[in-house]
Every structure is written in C-alpha cells, then in structure tokens.
Structure 1
Amino acid sequence: MAVVVAGTVLATAPAAEAAPDPDALGHHLVKAVSADKINRHLIALQRIADTNGGTRAAHTPGYQKSLDYIAGGLRAAGFEVSTPEFTYNRVVVDAAVVVAGAVRAAPTQMTDSINTPVGGLTGPLVAVPVDANPGCQIEDYAGVDAVGAIALIKRGGCAFTQKQLVAAQAGAIAALVYNHVDGPGYGGVDPAQSKIPTAGLTTAEGLALAAVAGTQTTVDVRTHKQFTTSRYLVTQTRTGRTDNVVMAGAQLDSIPTSAGINDTGASSAALLEIALKLGPSPRVDNAVRFAWWGAEDVDKTAAGFYLKSLSFEQQLDIAMYLNSNSIGSSNAGYFVYDGDNSTGSAGPMPYGSAQIERAFAGYLAGREIQVEGSNFDRQWDHSQFIAAGIPTGGLYAGSFRQKTPAQAAKWGGTAGVSFDRCHQQACDNLGNVDRTALDRNADAMAFVLAGYATSTEDVNGVPPRAQRAQTRATVAMKATTLGGAE
C-alpha cells in the first residue's frame, strides 16, 4: 500500500510474507495528482509566455524560463536535475507572403520545400478543382492551364509531396495548399522530391485566394536554417532499478507564434505534477526518469540528441518510454498511441508497445472512457525512442483533425470541428484547455507510470521485486532441502 507524505507519494514496505497490491502505488498517485496544481503550472507557463514576447519557442527566453520553472519545482522537491545542451537547425523565416491583387496571405513554407527566388515568383493564380483527392493526379488539371502559374490546391487525399509533384508536372511554378480544417497549413515535403516552392495556407486564406483565381499573383516563401543551442531537462528517482528504467517525457517548447498552453504546456504541466507527487525517493521496483524536451518540430530534436548521447547499453537500461501530447484539447478526444498497429498505419512498433497501449486503454476503460488508437505523428519526440527499439506508448487528445459525429457521440463535444481549433496558433492559451480531459489523461499517465514502476513484466519480462525475492527464496529452500537429504 502507499501513503502521501508532505505531498509525495511513498509506498510503505510490505510485510515479507504478503504480496503487495501491484496497483496500490498507481491508485495513490492518481489521488495525489491534483488538477488544480496542474492548472497552476499552466498559469505559470502562460505568464512566462506573456512576459517574453508571447512565445516559449526553444530558442527564446520564454523557453529558458519555462525550463527554469520546471527545474525549480523539481529541485525544491529534492530531485537532482540535469539540463544538458543540445543543438538543432532552427528554421528562420526570411519571407512569407502571397499577394493576389487586394488579397494578401501569410503562407507557411512546407518543411524541406525549395525556396522561391528573392522577390518571389509571379504568375496567374489557378484553382485546382476540388474533389475527394484534389490535385493528387494529373487528370485533376484537365482544362486548367497551369503552365507558369501558381497552383492553389485544397488539402486532403494524398501527401503534400504528391500534390506539388503533380502541380510541377502540370507546369506550375509554385504550389499553395490550403487547409481543410481549422488552423495553419503546416506540413512538409520529401526533400529528395521537392520540385517547386510549396507552402500552406489556412482555410480562410485559401478561400479568399480562390475567389480571385486568374489574378496575377506573387508568392515569396523563403527560409534558412540556423545552427542553434538550447537545453532540455532530465531527472530520475534515486530509488528503483537503474537497469530497468521507466521513462516519461513531454515537449516543453511552443512554436514561435504561440504560448502553447495545450500544445505543449498541458503535457509538461501534468508530467511535472506527477513527478512532484511521486517524489525523488519513492518505494518503487524500477527507477523513473522524467524528461522535458525542446525543438520537437525540427530535424534534430532534443530527444534524438539525448538518445545519441547514450551507449547501446545505456539505452538498454530504458525499459520503455511514455509520452503525451496535447492532452487538454478543447474539443477533446481520448486517444492512445497505436502500439499494435490495429489502425493499420502506425507501422512496426517495438515489442512491448502493444502492452503499453492496453495499459492506458484499460485504465481509461475503468473510468468508463472509450479510447481509439492514434495514428500518431512520427515527428514527435517519441519517434526517436521507437527508432531505437524502445517500447513506446502514450496519450493524445487530438489536434487539427475534425471530430466525427461518432466521436462526438462517444466523447461529447462538437462534430465537424477540430479537436483543438487553436492548434499551433496564437489562441492556444489558458482559454484553450479542456480541464476535465487534462485531469483524466494526467490520471491515466500517473496510474500507468506507477504500475510500470512496480513491474514491467508484461513489456520485457522483468518481474516485480517481491516476485524475484520469492523466487530466490524458493530456490534457496530447495537447495537447502536437497543438501540436507544428502
């Protein structure tokens, strides 16, 4: 069983002859993790952003102060904190403008797209007809004179790479892809197949431009990468096996134009409160390691940098990695990372990931919450752990995709609207958080993390301490009995 002492969850030593309740620590950690305290951490992150240019991006003072806030809370609770440096290629925007007569838009250049020349490219704006797969095959340009033109294409139906390849085949000199859901037109193209400058637009920008199709239009989208140094944070309990560590992490930095309170503050705040309530020296079988990352949305993430700093033997010490992302979305869904590829698109996962998925789903089912598998974004931090063969799982409340009528019936909220209408936008602030969803997801993370701190047997075959001790005692008794018989 476990008790709460001075805000820290500590498990008492079980009697030698009694097997401990494997879920005891989980139940007590869930009870100790307070939704009010998580919200207080969110208030802190909002104020940090508000007093530092409205952002907590990894290269800014707002991020450093966010990191200091996390570190300060952990140190005050008795944790030993490490904040190593990492380097990454920060994307710097040199130009981002579309002008079509009186209509102006601020596009987002697709990651790995080629740049326009300085001053941009100019040509007639042509709107590709909208169907289920707009701009995905050359036949979509039948009757459209795209030679020397700027192609305006609605998102959906195929990858951005394919849309710009087909546009280039039709003779377009640039491609603008406008969103089919709320939010900015973020995305990327395969650098090896980038043929023409390609950028994303919001739905409103796309519709405004479509209304002036045929107008001479200038597109100027240019970025460069700047080598940048930042920090991430890692801490670990002093107790528990250090060769079978349960690791949990969250992205801490925001995008440059947002405070990032749901994405990424919600996960960071929940993880901080879980760490504080678990405490630096809980009675656990396996050590628990916590991490807060920066620069997730670039080609060299802090998580990747961290893993590359470890030897293979040190990576073997990590039994699993638990992640969460946007767990307080305002029109929330309840997703668990697809560990068994039941959705058909997650791809091969390290052994043990399916078991982690079942652990999260099982806890939420006990709260009468149905879940769905998430076809998670492989650009997130946890993809680095998947690539290293480390069992991985996590939680997600949804972001830019729209909630279906079936999902609204199951979870509440509004169908036909994005799970997070402010995803990666300036409106991702304290008013953009479903605190009920945040509380439930924080509880699920606390329970599953505590369970694996007790035993990872279903993931990697390492049983709990009490079971190992009982096995050793049984072997010793048999050896003594056999010895006496002789």
Structure 2
Amino acid sequence: MRIPVSRRAGVATAIAALLLPLALAGPASADPDPSALARSISAPGVKQHLQKLQAIANANGGTRAAGTPGFDASRDYVAGQLKKAGYKVTIQPFEFPFFQEHSTATMQQTSPDAKTYAPTPPDGSSVGEFATMTYSGAGDVTATVQNVDLVLPPAPTPSSTSGCEASDFASFAPGNIALLQRGTCDFQVKADNAQAAGAAGVIVFNEGQPGRTETLQGRLTTPTVTIPVVGVSFAVGEDLASPAGTVVHLKTDTTSEMRTTYNVIADSKWGDPNRVVQLGAHLDSVLAGPGINDNGSGSAAILETARTLGKIPTRNKLRFSFWSAEELGLLGSDHYVANLSPADAAKIKLYLNFDMVASPNYAFKIYDGDDSDATGSPAGPPGSDEIEKLFAKYFDTLRQGHVGTDFDGRSDYGPFIAVGIPSGGLFTGAEGTKTPEEQALFGGTAGEAYDGCYHQACDTIANIDDKALALNTGAIVTAAVVYAFSRDLPGPDVRPAPAARTAAARTAGAQVHGGTAR
C-alpha cells in the first residue's frame, strides 16, 4: 500500500500523539517507539495481504467462502504469517451447515397449461416468481401438485398451519409435489413433514395477507432435506392450487450439507494473560465473490498490525482473531464465545472488530459505544464508550471527520457484547446509502452505496479505497498499542491480588521442579 507522503505523515503524527503518554508512563525498555510504529504502516504489507487473498480467490473459483478450498487457503496463509511473527496460533474447528446453489433453478407448469415461471438467480441480482430456499435439496422432478391444508382465500391474519403437522399429509400421495402455504410454523417443519410423507418436491407460497404476497425467499434451518424446496408468491401459489391435477417440472441444483470450517486465534507470547486485548475480523467471503473489502480489508489490517507488534513486549496480552462463517450468521465468533469458560471470558478486557474498512464510497464510522445519538441499537457494555472516544481522538487528531454507527448485530462484536465484554471498532459502510452530510465530510457520492460491490463478484482488489485503508489501519495500530500498554482497560480487572499471584507462582514452580507436572 503506497500512502502519499502527506497522508503518511499525518497518520504518523496522529499515532505518535496518541502513544506519547505511553512513552512517559512506563519503563522505556518496555514501551513502543511511536515513530517506528508510525513508519511501519507505510510499508506495503496490508495491500500485499489483500493481493494474496485475491490470488487465493482467483485460484479457487473466485471465492473464499467458509467450507471452500478458498477459505482453507486463506486460513493457512494467515496462520503462517502469524506463526512467523511469533504468535501461538490455534486453529479452532467447528461444523456448520453449508449451502450453495450452483445454477439457476427451473419451475414450469406442464399441465393443464404450459407455463414457465421466472426464477430468482443464485446471486440474488433479481427477484423472480420463485426462489430456491436456502438448504433446499437438489433434484429434477416432474409430478402432480397436491394441495396440503391450504387456507384459500387467506384469513385476515397469519393463521395457516399448512404442513405443520404430520397429520396434514394423511392422504398425501407419495411422489407428488407438496403445495404448502406460509403460516404459523417454520419452513423446516413443513419441508421435513413433506419429505417424510414421500413428497418429491415442495412449493411454499406466501400466505396472502398484505405484506405477505411477494415471492418467498426463505430458508430452512438445517441441511437435512434432500428434495427440491422453493418459495413462490401468493399469486403463483393460488394459480397452482387450482385446478386439481396440475403438473409441474421442478429442478434445483444445490449442495446442502454439514461441513467443517475454522477460526484462527493468535496469542502474543507477551503480556499479562489475565488482561487480554482482543482484535477480530472475519476472514470468510460470500460464495459470490472474493470478498476483498468484505472482509479482506479488516483481516489484512489486523494481520499487518499483528506482524508489526509480534516482537514487541507488551503489558497486556494481545489476541488476534480471524473468524469463519460470519457471512452465515456470525457462526465463528459465536462458536468461540460460546466455548469460553466464564474465567476465560472475564480475562478479555475488550474486543475490537474491523469489518469492511476500505469501502470505495467510504464513510469513517466508529461503533457508537455510548449510544450518544440516542437512536437505533443501545450502547455497548460499560467501557465501550471509552473505546469509541479513543478512535474519535485519532480521527480528530488528523482533522478527519467521523460519524457513529450502531451495534446493530451484523458483525462479530455481537457475541462479545452479549456476554458483557466492552467492544468497539471501525466500519466504512456496506450496501447502505451515503447521505449528503457524509458526502460533505468524506467526499464520494451521496445517494449511492458505500460499497457498490457488496457481496458480489466485483469485490476485488480494485474495490479497495487506499485512503480509507491507510487511515483505518493507522487507527487499528493505535488502538492495539494503546490498549496493549495501558494500565487501565475498559473491562473489570479479575487478576488476583499481588500476594495471591506470588503464592500461585511459588506453587506452580514447586510442582514443575518437584516432578508433579500436570
């Protein structure tokens, strides 16, 4: 990443200004050299990581999604870089439900009339008259459509129990396609019951009340259904329901199965293990593209930060986290937090999240730790406000505008906030629309998406804004160093009293030297 000299100097000045108190507060031998750290971010390291992630995607079908070879290669690259930098690296496996629609589905009425219904393509670029449900099975069937406990005309409020009970299929003819109606139970329940009754496929149509008429773009919850399952609009469902004996050709081309993916967790060998400063970014992309901004940008920025700080002794322990399956619902970070013991969770004093930090039509957004705008999502756990203030001070030092953004649950801070860990981070915007006020602060184009390639194949290395990447990397380095050396961290201190620590150390030494290793 080549940063213009004037901008590089500004970032260096901001970092130095924020780190200067550290240099005055402790032993010179242990504290960082602010100017050296500032110079380190002018290296092309971050952009080189992004180029590597792009090359990995190019070699693996254009994607780095969880459960694919592209993600596994990304994992290996990041883990290798961290090991070289001196970190203890843990590869944490977990299972997750994988789904991919390989080609556009087909749905045609062949009798009594010939009719072809417009599909919704796998990339979601348009919405047709029907859509393959997530975790649908694959199949190519032509069969009679059989109504299952439909409510036509629809009730004034959602009330259909179509397919919700096994008894709904008492008279169902195996080999038929089940026509079901949206209603009071999950799509998974409907599909499971239909499959158990011998259905060759499932069509679920919207219920019919206002707001429930459009094409269903639904999802099952587990990859246990092996037959095609699609959602359709109320109008299509009503058309298929009458007359009796309608025949439909239904084809879906999917992979739906459980797979294993991995988080990468790297612990510095330095610092108090009872005072952990944790940074994280999700490493996976969506299936549709290489995910270089979302979220190669956050991953590359914290990876280079880790490389920069790996050899520097710190007061507190730094932990860098690269999450998988974020794009499927924060599965990696949720798995990690759910498997922390209460004692280990209490050692994490703060969590910093970086998801999309180089959007081409960027805004510099800081997570609103104190809910200062009093709108949207509430404040983060106590201490989150301090994190917000640190990032704000960095941008203020640069005379760079910034705005707040809610903890809306869309990224990996969510599981940490849920267990009370102070959190914060940076974001440059996704599919949302830039406002005129933001255009005045940051430039770019109001009325357009922050990232017009969000979740698309065009999220490549060309989708990165170098200024946003440079300034946010500087902010990440600053926060990492400030908290790595700070005596006062946002989270509560759970360290034992000094006398207890001394006693524990003596006991541990006696156990090791006395031959009672455990």
TM-score (norm 1): 0.69
Residue 209 (structure 2) pairs with residue 169 (structure 1)? yes
Paired with 2:295 and 2:330, the residues of 1 have a C-alpha distance of: 18
What residue number does 2:490 align with? 459
How do 1:212-251 residues align onto structure 2 when only pairs under 5 Å count? 226-251=257-282
1:415-443 CA-partner distances (Å, limit 9, x unpaired): 11100000010000011000110010011
- Matched residues, percent identical? 33
How do 1:110-125 residues align onto structure 2 when only pairs under 5 Å count? none
Residue 38 (structure 2) pairs with residue 30 (structure 1)? yes
Asked if structure 1 preserves the Cα contact closer than 8 Å seen for 2:30 and 2:314, the reply is no
Asked if structure 2 preserves the Cα contact closer than 8 Å seen for 1:355 and 1:458, the reply is no
Paired with 1:34 and 1:16, the residues of 2 have a C-alpha distance of: 25
Asked if structure 2 preserves the Cα contact closer than 8 Å seen for 1:338 and 1:373, the reply is yes
Task: Could you tell me which runs of 5 or more consecutive residues in structure 2 were left unpaired when the two chains were aligned.
Answer: 1-18, 108-114, 125-130, 143-155, 158-178, 182-203, 223-228, 234-247, 499-518
Deviation at 1:170, TM superposition (A): 3.8
Structure 2 residue identity aligned to 1:302:
G
Residue 333 (structure 2) pairs with residue 303 (structure 1)? yes
**For the structure 1 residues 286 and 118, does the alpha-carbon distance in structure 2 shift closer, same or farther, using more than 3 Å as the test?**
same
1:389-437 CA-partner distances (Å, limit 9, x unpaired): 1111000010101111111111011111100000010000011000110
Deviation at 1:458, TM superposition (A): 5.4
What residue number does 1:413 align with? 444
Paired with 1:189 and 1:456, the residues of 2 have a C-alpha distance of: 48
**For the structure 1 residues 199 and 360, does the alpha-carbon distance in structure 2 shift closer, same or farther, using more than 3 Å as the test?**
farther
Structure 1 residue identity aligned to 2:336:
Y
1:426-474 CA-partner distances (Å, limit 9, x unpaired): 00001100011001001101101110111162513669xxxx9xxxxxx
The equivalent position to 2:85 in structure 1, one of 62, 77, 84, is 77
* Number of positions where the alignment pairs a residue of Structure 1 with one of Structure 2: 389
Deviation at 1:119, TM superposition (A): 7.2
Deviation at 1:91, TM superposition (A): 3.1
What residue number does 1:161 align with? none
Task: Could you tell me which runs of 5 or more consecutive residues in structure 1 were left unpaired when the two chains were aligned.
Answer: 1-10, 121-136, 139-147, 151-163, 178-186, 201-216, 469-486
What residue number does 1:58 align with? 66
Asked if structure 2 preserves the Cα contact closer than 8 Å seen for 1:55 and 1:260, the reply is yes
Structure 1 residue identity aligned to 2:296:
G
What residue number does 2:288 align with? 257
Structure 2 residue identity aligned to 1:372:
V
Residue 381 (structure 2) pairs with residue 350 (structure 1)? yes
Max Rg structure: 2
Asked if structure 2 preserves the Cα contact closer than 8 Å seen for 1:320 and 1:392, the reply is yes
**For the structure 1 residues 119 and 277, does the alpha-carbon distance in structure 2 shift closer, same or farther, using more than 3 Å as the test?**
same
How do 1:5-404 residues align onto structure 2 when only pairs under 5 Å count? 28-34=36-42, 36-93=44-101, 97=105, 105-106=120-121, 108=124, 168-170=208-210, 174-175=214-215, 226-279=257-310, 281-299=311-329, 301-343=331-373, 344-404=375-435
Deviation at 1:359, TM superposition (A): 0.8
Paired with 2:412 and 2:83, the residues of 1 have a C-alpha distance of: 24
Paired with 2:475 and 2:93, the residues of 1 have a C-alpha distance of: 31
Structure 2 residue identity aligned to 1:30:
A
3-state SS in 1 of match to 2:453: coil
Structure 2 residue identity aligned to 1:426:
A
**For the structure 1 residues 452 and 428, does the alpha-carbon distance in structure 2 shift closer, same or farther, using more than 3 Å as the test?**
same
Deviation at 1:354, TM superposition (A): 1.1
Structure 2 residue identity aligned to 1:257:
A
1:164-185 CA-partner distances (Å, limit 9, x unpaired): 99973149665368xxxxxxxx
Deviation at 1:300, TM superposition (A): 6.3
Paired with 1:79 and 1:316, the residues of 2 have a C-alpha distance of: 22
Structure 2 residue identity aligned to 1:283:
P
TM-score (norm 2): 0.65
Deviates more, 1:31-40 or 1:404-413: 31-40
Asked if structure 1 preserves the Cα contact closer than 8 Å seen for 2:358 and 2:466, the reply is yes
- Root-mean-square deviation over aligned CA pairs: 4.3
Paired with 1:172 and 1:306, the residues of 2 have a C-alpha distance of: 37
Deviation at 1:16, TM superposition (A): 11
Deviation at 1:220, TM superposition (A): 8.4
Structure 2 residue identity aligned to 1:301:
L
